[in-house]
Structure 1
Amino acid sequence: MNDLAHALGQLCRRNRDGSHATQANRLRGLQAMAGDLYQLGYRVPKAASLKPKHVTALVDHWQGQGLSQATLKNRLGWIRWWAEKVNKSSVVPRDNASLGIAPREKTVTNRAWQPEADEPLPDPRMQTSIDLMAAFGLRLEEALKLRPVQADRGHVLHLQGSWTKGGREREIPIRTDQQRALLTRAKELVGKQSMIPAERTYIQHRKAFEHQALKHGITNVHGLRHAYAQTRYADLTGWACPKQGGPQLKELTKPQRELDRQARLIVSQELGHSRIAITKIYLG
């Protein structure tokens, strides 16, 4: 058990709000959050150290797992309880929609976005990592740990297990001149090394990245994966996904439904997920 999990356990024992079942669920949920933050690279020493970046990181992580809107709302309720008990209620937005969680599933906010070419981050490695996330649908960890020379296999970008979530290797097709030019730029920038500078560990560089990104108003790097998924879906089907105003499943013909299913399967695999259902988060 890490320090934060221990601190949250003590916080729950001091504040026994609700029924025994509610208290037990809250304790399990908060200690699981402590584990998630630790795995994401955050070392939070005590319960009162909660910050907005921790909330955003957790929500992005959960959305990447394809959790339902109801589950996300329950977990945010536990975070709000935590924040209230340590007098830091302001670190959690009052409106779930600002975190990409809408009141009703039909009105879920489209979190997709593309980086602005005329407003790059000062650090070229960090900016290139952002561009790699947008071009290949990479997670932040993958975009930082990537070794472009090693990953480039000609027609595909091969991600080795030590870079990916769950240690699952995968391949993403290199389809466009823009993707090829980006990989060339990345290779020229880092040579045979990864996108992490030699003088930093992964955790150090990730924290530096998040600090610089936040200074430039970037709080939703996961939205780059949303944009990749939506662009890829349109390429594969010929029409926009529901999140972009495209047709709902019931509006498609039988052949179109089969094409929709095949496209979602491809998108899911390229994003590194094992379930086609996860694409609902990205595509609607």
Structure 2
Amino acid sequence: MPRPQQPVRRSALAGLTPQQILARYPPGRCEPLRVLEVLIELYNTQHTALEKTVSFKTRQERAQFLRRFFRDLKAKAGFSTAPDPRSLRQKHVQAMIKVWQHEGLAPATIQTYLSFLRGLAQWIGKPGLVRSPAFYGMAQVDFQRHENAQYDHSWLAQGVLASAIIEQVRAFDGYVGASLGLILAFGLRRKESVLCRPYAHVQEHETLGPCLRVTGKGGRVRWIPVDSAERHQALRLARQMVVHADAPLGDPAHDLRHNLRRFDYVLKKFGVTHAGLGVTAHGLRHQVLIEHYTALTGVAPPVRTDEAVVDKTVDRAARRTVAELAGHARPRASGAYLGGMHSRKQRS
């Protein structure tokens, strides 16, 4: 079992630049995994391509992968020792890709791993080190990702009556049922619904009126108007589950991690999986965003029909609004729910 790495002592590093900190760990004279911990401490909050911080989930997954990557260079890829991270070379990347392919990892997983390695390459001043998947012999059809939804993920499209399932879940577990209700009413993510404080997070917005204040990925805050009977009802049911006005929706007897696991367990129990009913909780979020686009434009989005004709300006504005409702910084992220622009001829 690998020896746990010592955390960086921040008090001893105060006022030093990253370069000065790393200079305290000369290559070849310090354990590679200890140097890696220093790099993670210094840079892991940074986004690979944008001037912003990344979510806690991304930081955790990237750090765990990098630690495993350097251990596996010795354990699986045949290197006698793990290199100092600052000495990472193309041969190390290529060797591990062969290992991943031999292990049968999905191309999308390898693509994610390469993205994590690009981040490390930037940290060590080698931004061009990690190449495209094609450079490593991966066919484009294997690794390409579809940014736009290829089919309608909503419960409605799969013929699943959301209200009936949510009532069944609520009778079994009120917390999970209330979370599903919030997802269906507000288009929240799973974690956002569990963390929602149904009293404290309903606040008066200066222009929108009463809103649910939601803090999403990357700390982005969005305001969702409480402007329908469905949204009022979802909040009312959620409020019945909390023990005091500042409490989050999850079971107070457990922490967030346990409540998220419980959420997944309950949904699986009621068949809310791809293998079961053919839907997931995230499909409720798709449903809300698709219906919002339809209300804004008067037509169904491309993921539901290829027949509609919609003005490009109207389409772009609607997509921007949908992205904001979903809590995404980029308008094009709406394509993950709506599909690409209508393929039929559009009015310009």
TM surpasses 0.5: yes
The 3 A distance-change label for structure 1 pair 105 and 273 is closer
Secondary structure of 1:242 counterpart: coil
Confirm or deny that 1:243 pairs with 2:312: no
Between the aligned partners of 1:137 and 1:112, the Cα distance in structure 2 is 11
Which residue does the alignment assign to 2:71? 10
Task: Determine the structure 1 residue equivalent to 2:255.
Answer: 201
Q: Secondary structure at the match of 1:222?
A: helix
CA contact (8 A) 1:241 1:247 kept: no
Q: Which SS does the other structure have where 1:147 is aligned?
A: coil
| Deviation readout 1:229-274 (Å, 9 max, x if unpaired) | 10100111111000111546xx43xxx2211111111111111111
Alignment partner for residue 151 of structure 1, among 190, 195, 201? 201
Kept after mapping to 2: 8 A contact 1:144/1:206: yes
SS in 2 for 1:149: coil
Deviations 1:73-109 (A, max 9, x none): 74235689xxxxxxxxxxxxxxxxxxxx999888813
Q: What's 2:328 paired with? A: 273
Q: TM-score normalized by structure 2?
A: 0.53
Q: Is the radius of gyration larger for structure 1 or structure 2?
A: 2
Counterpart in the other structure of 1:96: none
Equivalence for 1:229 = 289
Residue range with higher mean Cα deviation, 196-205 or 109-118 = 109-118
Of 24, 32, 45, which residue of structure 1 is paired with 2:93? 24
Conservation of the 8 A alpha-carbon contact between 1:102 and 1:108: no
Check whether the contact 2:148–2:336 (CA below 8 A) recurs between aligned residues.
Answer: no
Structure 1 173/217 Cα, relative in aligned 2: closer, same or farther at 3 Å?
same
Partners of 1:131 and 1:107 lie apart in 2 by 24
Query: How far, CA to CA, are the matches of 1:25 and 1:133 in structure 2?
Result: 42
- 1:264 equivalent to 2:319? Answer yes
Rounded to whole Å, the distance in 1 between the matches of 2:305 and 2:179 is 29
Distance 1:9 1:247, change over 3 A: farther
Long gaps (5+) in structure 2: 1-36, 38-62, 79-88, 114-142, 274-279, 340-348
Letter in 2 for 1:224: L
| Conservation of the 8 A alpha-carbon contact between 2:202 and 2:213 | no
3-state SS, counterpart of residue 157 of structure 1: strand
- Partner amino acid for 2:182? L
CA contact (8 A) 1:233 1:241 kept: yes
The secondary structure found in structure 1 opposite 2:109 is helix
Looking at structure 1, the residues matched to 211 and 266 of structure 2 have their Cα atoms a distance apart, in angstroms, of: 27
Q: Aligned to 1:112, which of 154, 160, 175? A: 154
Letter of the aligned partner of 1:278 in structure 2? A
Distance 1:241 1:226 in 2: 11
Equivalent in 223, 228, 231 of residue 171 of structure 1: 223
Q: What do the CA deviations read for 1:8-49 (whole angstroms, capped 9, x no partner)?
A: 5433544449xx758527969x9xxxxxxxxxxxxxxxxx9x
CA contact (8 A) 1:26 1:78 kept: no
Whole-angstrom CA distance in 2 between matches of 1:168 and 1:133: 18
- Give the one of 200, 223, 236 matched to 1:184: 236
Structure with the higher helix share, 1 or 2: 1
Secondary structure of 2:300 counterpart: coil
Deviation for aligned residue 1:111: 1.6
Q: Structure 1 residues 153 and 247, CA, compared in 2 at 3 Å: closer, same or farther? A: farther
Superposed displacement of residue 153, structure 1: 2.9
**Distance in 1 between the 2:155 and 2:91 partners?**
37
SS in structure 1 at match of 2:200: helix
TM-score (norm 1): 0.64
The Cα shift of 1:189 comes to 2.4
Structure 1 stretches lacking a partner, 5+ long: 31-47, 49-54, 56-72, 81-100
Moved more, 230-239 or 207-216: 207-216
Alpha carbons 1:148, 1:186 under 8 Å: kept: yes
Greater RCO structure (CA 8 Å; 6+ sep) = 1
